Structure 1
Amino acid sequence: MNEQVIFHNIKTALNNAPRNQFTVEMHLQMIKYADNLKSITAKEFCQGVGLKDSFGTEFSKMRNLTQRLKAAGLSTDLL
């Protein structure tokens, strides 16, 4: 799956998230696609999804967390 498709999927998920669930959905999407987005910077992620650059820190955290979750048995394909 290419980055543009992933960015589109994330944007759609965020736009459809209930207002009080935006941050939860954002984190979930970051974890879901972390492996596909290993080679991009946090800034590139934010620009691709249309988020403020300040969310780049969250992207970096979720990408790191994904490795721990996968080591504990999480299958990101199920998200």
Structure 2
Amino acid sequence: MNEQIIFEKIKEELEKAPRNQFTLELHLQMIKYADDLKTITAKEFCAGVGLKESFGTEFSKMRNLTNRLKSAGLKTDMI
């Protein structure tokens, strides 16, 4: 899937998320699209989604966590 399309989908989900669920939704979306975004940097992710660069650390964490979750049986395409 095209990165721009993914960024737009993530933005849409973040806009729909209740204020107190923003970070949770962000983490979920990062996990969901980790495989499709494995070639981009955290800085590129933040720019694409319109987030502060400080969220780049979260992107890196979730990408690493995704590998562990998938090893345990998570199917990211089911999120």
Listed one character per residue, the Cα deviations across residues 57-76 of structure 1 (whole Å, up to 9, x for unaligned) are 00000000000000000000
Instruction: Determine if the alignment matches structure 1 residue 75 to structure 2 residue 75.
Output: yes
- How far apart are residue 29 of structure 1 and its match? 0.1
Q: Name segments (4+ residues, structure 1) moved above 4 Å.
A: none
CA distance in 1, matches of 2:51, 2:12: 13
Listed one character per residue, the Cα deviations across residues 20-54 of structure 1 (whole Å, up to 9, x for unaligned) are 10000000000000000000000000000000000
How many equivalent pairs are there? Answer: 79
CA distance in 1, matches of 2:60, 2:39: 12
1:54 aligned partner: 54
1:37 aligned partner: 37
CA distance in 2, matches of 1:15, 1:38: 24
Partner of 2:36, secondary structure, is helix
2:27 aligned partner: 27
Unaligned residue ranges in structure 2 (runs of 5+): none
Unaligned residue ranges in structure 1 (runs of 5+): none
Equivalent residue runs for 1:3-18 within 5 Å:
3-18=3-18
Q: TM-score, normalised by structure 2?
A: 0.99
- Code of the residue aligned with 2:55 in structure 1: it is F
Q: TM-score, normalised by structure 1?
A: 0.99
